[in-house]
Structure 1
């Protein structure tokens, strides 16, 4: 049966959903509406992991091959604390430029017969006539915002400030650098996304941000200061900002978005319009594409639209529980960074890798490190960590709920 679908938002989620739906049934009438001009997206590189790539090969081998071909990889992590550094093996990671990712998905969608309409903003007032409208228009979704009460939308701002930058320094590993200043710690995450460029995300606590004058510095002055602070890892390469017309620096506070329900009649939320997870777990693009996979499967296997959308919502909410928990604890780890910075670099790096643990915030760091090393050899301790962690997490959650009443 031919179905008319309007995808509002030309990011990875909307484009990939259009590809999957066209592959399932070429007769589907699908249009992707994007408010910005083609090729104008802001962003440097995005990360993903082998598990996602395997799924993409399963669902659309052609776009997966192109994605893999234009990605760079790493299998090590480097952490620099003050003037000390340590390197560790890591899972295989991939980086690709956001522009290139969208080019690949847009070309694939067009080749299948999807219509792409750029510079075409859709709001509640000019919704296209369609059997299904997909709100893939990001964290600031206008379509979701028009029915925020229905969706039960909640936005929770994080404490720290961060800025998303590029650099011509090409990192050979996923790189962390922690710099101590007179006003507290400031740190960055760096990873390559092409043979010529890397992403560099800088983060710090509010008191460090204001103490260093980053709250009032324009972009040029702010970049100059950050280049000086991170000179040891940049090797003389510049940091590259967004180059806004007013010259302002684009510092942000990460906002965690949740929704109690993900659909209303024939309108369904997808990707960042439905949920966000802290950037420190590097899962945003992966979750958006997995949303698209789940929604396409539900629409294929369940002909009744409300039941299909209900199934999609249930499946994705369940799948997100663990990664959202990991992202919450990861963000808290960075918000409590001074707790770990007195450790030797190899111990700090080990706990950096354990930052998703619900147990770590409640155990002295050196004790946790010793337990974790022992647990790597003793199955009984591994079982103890798995048993104790959720219980502490539930207790803390219950106390938090009680404090709100």
Structure 2
């Protein structure tokens, strides 16, 4: 099969690796319009479940990603001068550029042609049996046939900006700061030995009230450094200025598509779907798309059947994730409802922000119900653990 992957993101690269492993005779090219080493974003997050899937698909690239990742196991929330810590599941961070370099190196070693500074236009697709549109949320290949794909984009209400910093965070960190114009907050996590990602978010009213809508990037970063001085410990923030010097504040775009394929063209990763960054699943979902698409092509001889299976499988898998992302974004949109709670309760409900019930139950009542349910489940687990041991003891006494 001759395969052309348009867009050199993690999903396209990993898909090309999987397809070469399945059949080295596949002719595969990945076309990336930007120069090698240039990418947006800072670090990406993932959890151990993804590593397990990567090891199954290609142990070599999984090992490389794992060895170049950093780990954390705690979450920390600062609300004004109050701090609370939650000991949770182990998470991982890796620089986006580093991940792309590792996957590109592995793809090339298997015989994939990775061509940088090679732009593919929607009007002139490569001559291939399969064209994979991995060109992101602004996919030109998808937009050319937007009516067929049934693309819909919903803009989130809050405003956010993706930044870097030389402050290294040992834990996944949240910080909420009250200003005269409302609350502003950030999510921060380490992705290397000397850098962290820091995403700042606020309501439109806070954004305009603080003058961030009118500030240049330099002035905006200076203001944010003052607001989060307690968190940064003297370290600065690093942005990505536009040509006119403005800051890249955005409304998150939730993208869905009615169908994911058209003829021999198929959507992958952010070209097919997006989920709010507050659940930290974007890269994971894109890589899972690649795994699913490669598996469908392996198991189905007919291209149409393979693409239809891939679409059904991934749409089904995404239902719960998209629901969680939607409710997570809504939680931050309703922040005043939770921010005055005692720190432990506020952080507990921050962890429950994916729940569809939370917006409809008074927060403190929800917290008490959740605590009671957790205690009941712990009791059930203890009884299940105890049951076989009691049975064995009784049997032993009977035998004696």
Once the 2 structures are TM-superposed, how far is the Cα of residue 245 of structure 1 from its aligned partner?
A: 3.2
Partner residue in 1 for 2:190: 192
Partner residue in 2 for 1:307: 305
Choose the corresponding residue for 2:82, options 81, 84, 97: 84
Once the 2 structures are TM-superposed, how far is the Cα of residue 153 of structure 1 from its aligned partner?
A: 0.2
Larger radius of gyration: 2
Choose the corresponding residue for 2:118, options 117, 120, 140: 120
Choose the corresponding residue for 2:10, options 5, 9, 12: 12
Which is worse superposed, 289-298 or 32-41? 32-41
Choose the corresponding residue for 1:67, options 41, 65, 68: 65
1:280-359 map, 5 Å: 280-359=278-357
1:345-397 Cα shifts (integer Å, max 9, x gaps):
11100000000000100000000011111110124999xxxxxxxxxxxxxxx
Alpha-carbon contact 1:374-1:381 (below 8 Å) kept: no
Q: Equivalents in 2 of 1:334, 1:124: separation in Å? A: 37
Partner residue in 2 for 1:401: none
Unaligned runs of 5+ in 1: 383-405
Partner residue in 2 for 1:29: 27
1:41-86 Cα shifts (integer Å, max 9, x gaps):
1210000000001110111000000000000000000000000101
Q: Equivalents in 1 of 2:317, 2:282: separation in Å? A: 14
Partner residue in 2 for 1:385: none
Residue 388 of structure 2 corresponds to residue 376 of structure 1: no
Q: Equivalents in 2 of 1:202, 1:347: separation in Å? A: 23
Q: Equivalents in 2 of 1:303, 1:198: separation in Å? A: 45
Which is worse superposed, 240-249 or 299-308? 240-249
Partner residue in 1 for 2:385: none
Q: Equivalents in 1 of 2:169, 2:269: separation in Å? A: 28
Once the 2 structures are TM-superposed, how far is the Cα of residue 151 of structure 1 from its aligned partner?
A: 0.3
Once the 2 structures are TM-superposed, how far is the Cα of residue 124 of structure 1 from its aligned partner?
A: 2.0
Partner residue in 1 for 2:217: 219
Look up the SS of the partner of 2:250 in the other structure.
coil
Residue 141 of structure 2 corresponds to residue 158 of structure 1: no
Q: Equivalents in 1 of 2:86, 2:126: separation in Å? A: 51
Structure 1 stretches of 4+ with a deviation exceeding 4 A read 379-382
- Say how many residue pairs are matched: 380
Unaligned runs of 5+ in 2: 381-400
Q: Equivalents in 1 of 2:45, 2:377: separation in Å? A: 32
Q: Equivalents in 1 of 2:95, 2:57: separation in Å? A: 22
Q: Equivalents in 2 of 1:333, 1:36: separation in Å? A: 36
Q: Equivalents in 2 of 1:359, 1:214: separation in Å? A: 34
1:291-326 Cα shifts (integer Å, max 9, x gaps):
000000000010100000000000000000000000
Choose the corresponding residue for 2:100, options 94, 99, 102: 102
Partner residue in 2 for 1:278: 276
Residue 151 of structure 2 corresponds to residue 136 of structure 1: no
Look up the SS of the partner of 1:253 in the other structure.
strand
Q: Equivalents in 1 of 2:378, 2:10: separation in Å? A: 43
Q: Equivalents in 2 of 1:32, 1:116: separation in Å? A: 5
Look up the SS of the partner of 1:130 in the other structure.
coil
Once the 2 structures are TM-superposed, how far is the Cα of residue 244 of structure 1 from its aligned partner?
A: 3.2
Q: 1:171 to 1:331 in 2, by over 3 A?
A: same
Alpha-carbon contact 2:162-2:198 (below 8 Å) kept: yes
1:181-210 Cα shifts (integer Å, max 9, x gaps):
000000000000001000000000000000
Which is worse superposed, 371-380 or 315-324? 371-380
Alpha-carbon contact 1:375-1:381 (below 8 Å) kept: no
Q: Equivalents in 1 of 2:356, 2:154: separation in Å? A: 19
RMSD of Structure 2 on Structure 1 (CA): 1.2
Alpha-carbon contact 1:13-1:270 (below 8 Å) kept: yes
